[in-house]
Amino acid sequence: MAFRGSCLCGSVQYQIDQLDGPIVHCHCTTCRKAQASQYASTGRVLRDHFRITAGEEQLQEFESSPGKLRKFCRTCGTHVFAERASDPYVILRVGTLDDDPGRSPAMHIWTCHDVAWLTDGDDVPRHAEWQPGR
């Protein structure tokens, strides 16, 4: 069984056989900037378990630190995965999965990079859809 994923515009499509590590929310500054979000939800996938099935030519890369390439769709900007050439795995941005990989987030890392104004404490109201009165 394979789990499917894609970028926002649908140009880039991929499949994974499984996540080969826990789902980790990374709060580091480069992830915050790359995702334009408080943190990036990531999971390791062995290269043998990861296949781009469409739109490989759409992937643009940015070297965010020496040897670390962040790959994103050149049309819609979705950050799909990051990799280091020497690693046997890619670091998938699990928010791009269309199927449920059967795992839940296990931890937050690099919270020392958090900026106080973007911290999502438990006291922040949650709404299933738009906020009331909008």
Binding site for Zn ion (CB under 5 A): 7, 9, 11, 26, 28, 31, 73, 75-76
Contacts of 37 (CB under 8 A, 6+ apart): none
Cβ 21 vs Cβ 94: under 8 Å: no
CB of residue 85 vs Zn ion: minimum separation in angstroms?
18
Q: How far is the CB of 28 from Zn ion (least distance, A)?
A: 3
- Nearer residue to Zn ion within complex by CB, 118 or 128: 118
For residues 5 and 20, which CB has a smaller minimum distance to Zn ion in the complex? 5
Residue 97 CB, shortest distance to Zn ion, in Å, is 15
Residue number, 48 or 57, with CB nearest to Zn ion: 57
CA distances from 39 to 3, 28, 35 (A): 23, 7, 7
